[in-house]
Amino acid sequence: MTPESAPARGRVSPGSRGRGPGSDRREDGQVGVLVIGYLLVSLLVVTVVLAVSSVYIEHKKLLSAADGAALAAADDYSIDVGIGGGIGGGAGTGATTPLPALQDSGVEESAAGYLAATGAGARLAQLAVDPATGAPDGRTARVVLTAVVRPPIVNFLVPEGIPIIARADARAELTR
């Protein structure tokens, strides 16, 4: 072996950068910091998606309860006999036409009865029938329900919960 071909001690050859005992260790552990950072960001994203999904699912449950309550309230009508054309005769003949009639108090009572019968109060936190519930035109049952969602993991950020509202309308019709 000639002195030119023998590797010099303490020198790092270009192909072995950062691999030998003489390598620079200032960058050791940098990948660990990146992995921890990415894990924290991933956990944050999962937490946000979980909270948003929880609110969405609870809103769909509330909307389903409002739909059922509106249908139950629309079925609880009285018959109002109006004057005019329709079933009993032609226009201007003075024949009476039966029409369904809804009252605000009846809609509220029917909605509350439906919610109690289905046990919706056990599935939804702070479930309440909103004062906007009623019969705006006398033939349509409008049910407005409110509840509170407490999303998992982040519930300490919103201890009172997130209020949600659902509105459903159902029309009472008489058919032959």
Q: Is residue 129 part of a domain?
A: yes
| Residue 99 β-bridge partners | 80
Range of the domain at 62: 32-171
The phi-psi region of residue 105 (left if phi > 0; otherwise alpha if psi is between -120 and 50; otherwise beta) is alpha
> In the prediction, which pLDDT does 27 show?
64
Q: Is residue 58 part of a domain?
A: yes
> In the prediction, which pLDDT does 87 show?
46
> In the prediction, which pLDDT does 97 show?
78
Tens-digit pLDDT string for the chain (176 aa):
555 555 555 555 555 555 555 556 666 668 888 999 999 999 999 999 999 999 999 999 999 999 999 999 999 888 877 654 444 444 445 557 788 888 999 999 999 999 999 999 999 999 999 999 999 998 899 999 999 999 988 888 888 999 999 999 999 888 77
Q: Give the count of domains, the chain.
A: 1
Which residue in 100, 125, 121, 103 sits closest to 112, CA to CA?
A: 121
Q: Is residue 4 part of a domain?
A: no
- The DSSP-derived string for 14-72 is GGGTTTSTTS--TTTTHHHHHHHHHHHHHHHHHHHHHHHHHHHHHHHHHHHHHHHHHHH
Q: Is residue 17 part of a domain?
A: no
Q: Is residue 23 part of a domain?
A: no
If you search the block for the tokens 């004057």, which residue do you land on? 83
